[in-house]
């Protein structure tokens, strides 16, 4: 079933990405969450009863491994010339006990479920019942339970090299239980649950603010195949948007053939 035991949350996490994405992170002071429908593993978000629910599950993917990882440079940065961002493991702005502002939780277009926010250590397994779990259980015609924690938690063992830690946030369509002019009754509730997976969110990414203290502790490592131009660009971005951030080149620089 995989390594079911959760390890302690590390002090820092690491994210490999393009220099263009670094520019957006620095300029906007946000971290982007992407729908599971957009990640590399095309099977993510699948369930045994509702098909794919990946469009409701938004993730920001990191690794807990502090040592540089050539496969991560190769897979997530262009020609190994991107960056690796290091941030404290709890980098987000808080609004009371919520990870999102009240006006974002309740709005006219969608519903952000703040209680769904979680930092997960991905469990790697080939157990099909975990990779494609049951999402909903109807206890009776009036009540259903939803297995939110099972989606975006497990990945096949072939991805184990990533040692992934993942921030998760569920976002639901506003009209999930919209019965129009019809009055609520048990059969309409059951029908709404049945059609849950057919609803859509009108976007595939969502951003959360980075808190000031975490932002200033950022470390930016430049990939091993960077150019002199890449150095100039990243240093200029740091100077303009986060002068307290630490810059460092990859320790693999000059050790990998360009």
In a domain, 258, yes or no: no
The answer to whether the beta carbons of residues 48 and 133 sit under 8 Å apart is yes
Model confidence pLDDT, tens digit, residues 114-136: 889 999 999 999 999 999 999 88
Is the pTM higher than 0.85? yes
In a domain, 55, yes or no: yes
Stretch 14-25: mean pLDDT: 98
Domain count, the chain: 1
In a domain, 5, yes or no: no
In a domain, 125, yes or no: yes
Selection from 7, 75, 67 nearest residue 41 by Cα = 75
Model confidence pLDDT, tens digit, residues 133-175: 998 887 776 677 788 899 999 999 999 999 999 999 999 887 6
Q: Give 68's pLDDT tier (boundaries 50, 70, 90).
A: very high
Which structural domain range is residue 64 located in?
12-249
Selection from 172, 177, 170 nearest residue 142 by Cα = 177
Q: What does the buried/exposed string (b/e) look like for 210-227 if buried means 16 or more CB atoms within 10 Å of the residue's CB?
A: beeebbebbebbbbbbbe
The total number of residues written for the chain in this structure: 258
In a domain, 255, yes or no: no
Q: What percent of the chain has pLDDT over 90?
A: 64
In a domain, 254, yes or no: no
Alpha helices in the chain (DSSP H): 19-28, 70-76, 102-105, 128-131, 186-194, 212-216, 228-241
Q: Which of 2-16, 31-45, 189-203, 234-248 is predicted with the least confidence, judged by mean pLDDT?
A: 189-203
């Amino acid at each position: 079933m995989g390594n079911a035991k959760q390890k302690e949350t590390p002090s820092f996490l690491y994210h490999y990405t393009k220099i263009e994405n670094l520019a957006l992170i620095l300029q906007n002071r946000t971290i982007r969450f992407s729908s599971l429908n957009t990640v590399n593993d095309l099977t993510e978000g699948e369930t045994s009863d509702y098909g794919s629910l990946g469009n409701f599950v938004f993730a920001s993917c990191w690794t807990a491994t502090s040592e540089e990882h050539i496969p991560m440079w190769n897979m997530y940065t262009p020609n190994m010339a991107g960056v690796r961002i290091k941030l404290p493991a709890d980098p987000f702005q808080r609004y009371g006990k919520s990870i999102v502002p009240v006006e974002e939780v309740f709005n006219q277009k969608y519903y952000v479920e703040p209680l769904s926010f979680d930092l997960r250590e991905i469990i790697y397994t080939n157990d099909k019942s975990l990779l494609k779990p049951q999402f909903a259980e109807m206890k009776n015609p009036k009540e259903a339970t939803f297995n939110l924690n099972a989606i975006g938690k497990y990945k096949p063992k072939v991805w184990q090299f990533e040692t992934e830690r993942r921030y998760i946030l569920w976002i639901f369509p506003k009209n999930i239980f919209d019965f129009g002019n019809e009055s609520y009754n048990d059969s309409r509730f059951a029908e709404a649950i049945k059609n849950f997976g057919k609803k859509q969110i009108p976007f595939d990414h969502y951003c959360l603010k980075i808190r000031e203290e975490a932002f200033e502790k950022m470390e930016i490592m430049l990939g091993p195949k960077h150019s002199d131009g890449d150095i100039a660009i990243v240093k200029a971005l740091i100077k303009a948007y986060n002068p307290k951030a630490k810059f460092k080149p990859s320790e693999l620089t000059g050790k990998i053939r360009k």
